Amino acid sequence: MKLNKKLLATGILSATLIAGNAFGAVSAQEAAKLGDSLTPMGAEKAGNGGAIPAWDGGLTTPPAGYKNDGIYVNPFPNEEPKFTINQSNVDQYAENLSPGQVAMIKRYDDYVMPVYETHRSAAYPEQVMKDTVDNATTVELIKDGNGLGNYQTATPFPIPQNGLEVIWNHITRYRGGSVQRNVGQVTPTEDGAFSVVKFQDELTWKTYLEDYEPGQDPNVLFYFKQAITAPARLAGNVLLVHETIDQVEEPRRAWVYNAGQRRVRRAPQVAYDGP
Query: Among candidates 187, 183, 201, which has minimal Cα distance to 239?
Result: 201
Residue 138 has pLDDT above 70, yes or no: yes
Cα–Cα distance measured from residue 252 to residue 273, given in angstroms and rounded to the nearest whole number: 14
pLDDT of residue 75: 95
Residue 1 has pLDDT above 70, yes or no: no
Cα–Cα distance measured from residue 77 to residue 60, given in angstroms and rounded to the nearest whole number: 17
Q: Mind listing the pLDDT tens digit for each residue in 64-107?
A: 999 988 788 999 999 999 999 999 999 999 999 999 999 999 99
Answer with the residue of higher pLDDT: 9 or 182.
182
Cα–Cα distance measured from residue 115 to residue 269, given in angstroms and rounded to the nearest whole number: 40
Q: Mind listing the pLDDT tens digit for each residue in 155-167?
A: 999 999 999 999 9
Residue 241 has pLDDT above 70, yes or no: yes
